[in-house]
Structure 1
C-alpha cells in the first residue's frame, strides 16, 4: 500500500512538472523574489555609502528611494483600537493577529472554518492571556458572506464598550488553487478570494475606518510574484477570472500573480481617491510583501515538489517562518501616522519599489472601474459603490 501511494505521488509530481505553470512558478517566482532582495540590498547599500538618513517623515506613493519607518504603538489610555485580520487561522494571518493583540489591539479574526477559528483563539490566548479577540466565520470568496460579516462586525461594535469604528484592516486572506473553481457569483475562486473579496471588504468597511477618532490604516498583503507579470488586462472577463476558466489548461500561477498585482493597483487607486476626497489624513493605505514564508499556501502542490522547494529555499536562506515573515505586515500596520502608499518588504520597517507595471495609474483606475462594475450586479450593489 505504501509503495502504491509512493508511485501515485511520483506520477502526480511528474505530470505537475510537465505543465508550463509549474516552470513559471519555479523560474519566474524565484527570479522575482531574488530581484526584490537585490533591490533591497542595492538601496540599502547606496544609502549607507552616501550616509543618507533612513527615516523620513513622508513619501509619495511607491517612493523611488529606500525608506524605513519606525513602528508606533496604537494604544492610548482612553481608547482601545480595533483591527480586522482576514485569513487569520493559520500562517501569516495567525502570526499577525497574535502580534497585534500584543500591541493592544482588539483583534477580529476572520476565517472560513469555525473549528480553526476556535483553535486560533486558543493558540493566541495560550501565548497572550490578555488578548482581546473576536472570531467571525467568513468566506472571502463570497460577496454575500462578506456583506453579512460587515453587518455582524458593526453590530458587535455597537453591543460592546468599544468605539463603533475600525482602526486597522489587514487583507491577508489568499489561496493558490491548482484547479479551477467557481464562486457563487461566477468568479474564479482564487482571484475572488485574493483580490475581489479584499476589494469588496475594504469598500464596505470604509465608513467604519473613516469614523475612527484616530487615523486608520488599510494593509493589503501582496507578493513578490506580481513582478512576473509584464502585461495584464483589466477587463471584466480577466478581473473576474472567467476568461481563465475557459482555458484548456488552468493558468493557476498566472492568476495568482495577477491577483497580487491587482491588490497593488487597487491600493494605489484607493490612495489616490482618498487624496481627492480630502480623506488621506484619516485613512492610510499600505502594501506588505512578506517574501517567502512557510505556510500552507502550497498545499495543493504535490508534497514531493513542495518539500523539495522548501529545502532549496531554506538552503538559500530565503525561507522564513510566519513569526518572522509577518514583520513586513506589522511594519505596515504600525507605521507612523501620515505614512501612506508604501510597499513594505524585508522587515525592519523597510520599503522598496514594486514592479514598474504597478505604477500605471491609468491601469489602476481602469481596474477600479471594472471591479466596481462587476460587483454592481451582486448583492454588494449600491451599498459598496456609494462610497
Structure 2
C-alpha cells in the first residue's frame, strides 16, 4: 500500500480514466461519433473477408471477434492458450452458428512464435483456397505483469507483448494487408493509462524494458503505461534490436 506502484495505479490511473471520459463527453452530448466507411466485397472476390484479432480469449478481444463474426468476417483468433481459444470459439458459435473461425496459439512476446504464426497463416490461407490477403488486423493482446520476466530475446515480457510484439506482427503481415482487393485497416488497442506518462526519455533501454530489470522493485505500473503509450523512436534503434521496421502510431479504441 505504501509503494509507488500502488499510488500510481490508484491516483494517476484514476485521473487518466476521468480525463478519457471527459474527452468523450462532447461526443456523448452530440450523440454521434465518426466511423470509418465500410468496404463492400468485390463481386470477383472468391471468399469472405479475413480479420485477425489478438488476445481473443477474453475481454475486448473476445467481444470484437464475436461482433466481427456477425459482420460476416472470417475471424482468425490469436491467443496464448489452446484451451481458452477453443472455449472462446465455442462461445462464439453458440451465439452465431454461421461464424467462420480459425484459432492460432501465438506467444506475442516471442519473435519466433510470431514468425511461425505468419507461416502457418499463409499455409492455412493457401490450403483453404482463400485469397492471400487480410482485410483487418486488431492488435488487442496485452498483459499486466507484476514481476520481472524476460522474453526469449531478453526483453521485458510486458514491453515485448504489449508493444514490440504488436509492431513485429504488424510488420510481418503488412504484405498480406497491402494485397487486399478492398481497403485494409490496422487497429492498435491502447489504454487510458498512457495519459499518465510525462516527460518520457525514450531510448533502447525503455523500448526493450531492460532498464527496469535493474530496479530494486519491479515498476509494473510504469512499464504498463509505457507499453500503452504512443512512442516515437529513431529508426537506427530498431537495427540494433534486429527489427527491420519502423513503428506505427497507436489508435485508441
Distance across 2 between alignment mates of 1:114 and 1:210: 29
Given that 2:42 and 2:182 are in contact with CA atoms closer than 8 Å, whether structure 1 keeps it comes out as no
User: Partners of 2:16 and 2:61 in 1: how far apart?
Assistant: 23
Equivalent in the alignment of 1:41: 25
TM-score by length of 1: 0.60
Higher relative contact order (CA 8 A, sep 6+): 1
The reply on whether 1:113 has 2:97 as its aligned counterpart is no
TM-score, scaled to structure 2 = 0.90
CA change 1:247–1:365 in 2 (3 A) is closer
Aligned pairs for 1:255-274 (under 5 A) are 255-261=223-229, 264-265=230-231
Which residue number in structure 1 is paired with residue 117 of structure 2? Answer: 149
- Point out the structure with the larger helix share: 1
Residues 39 and 183 of structure 2 are in contact (CA less than 8 Å); yes or no, is this contact kept in structure 1? no
CA distance change for structure 1 residues 73 and 119 in 2, over 3 Å: closer, same or farther?
Answer: farther
Q: CA deviation at 1:44?
A: 5.8
Q: Which residue of 2 aligns with 1:86?
A: 54
**Cα deviations by residue, 1:182-210 (Å, 9 ceiling, x for unpaired):** 10000000110000000100000000001
- Distance in 2, matches of 1:204 and 1:176, equals 25
Query: Counterpart of 1:69?
Result: 35
Kindly report which structure 2 residues correspond to 1:364-379, keeping only aligned pairs within 5 A, or say none.
364-366=232-234, 369-376=236-243
Count of matched residue pairs: 244
Corresponding residue SS for 1:136: strand
**CA apart distance, 1:72:** 2.7
- 8 Å CA contact retained: 1:85, 1:108: yes
Aligned residues of 1:234 and 1:370 also touching (Cα < 8 A): no
Q: Distance in 2 between matches of 1:74 and 1:178?
A: 44
Do 2:109 and 2:157's aligned partners in 1 also have CA atoms closer than 8 Å?
A: yes
Q: Partners of 1:77 and 1:127 in 2: how far apart?
A: 28
Task: Quote the residue 1:206 is aligned against.
Answer: 174
- Give 1:123's aligned residue: 91
Quote the offset at 1:18 in angstroms. Answer: 2.2
Match of 1:31 in 2: 15
Q: Any gaps of 5 or more consecutive residues in structure 2?
A: 247-253
Do residues 169 (structure 1) and 137 (structure 2) align?
yes
In the TM superposition, structure 1's runs of 4+ consecutive aligned residues that sit over 3 Å from their partners are 42-45, 73-79
**Long gaps (5+) in structure 1:** 1-16, 55-66, 266-363, 377-381
| Structure 2: distance between partners of 1:70 and 1:156 | 29
When Rg is computed on C-alpha atoms for both structures, the one with the higher figure is: 1
1:221 equivalent in alignment to 2:205: no
Pair 1:178-2:146 in alignment: yes
Q: What is the root-mean-square deviation in Å for CA atoms of aligned residues?
A: 2.0
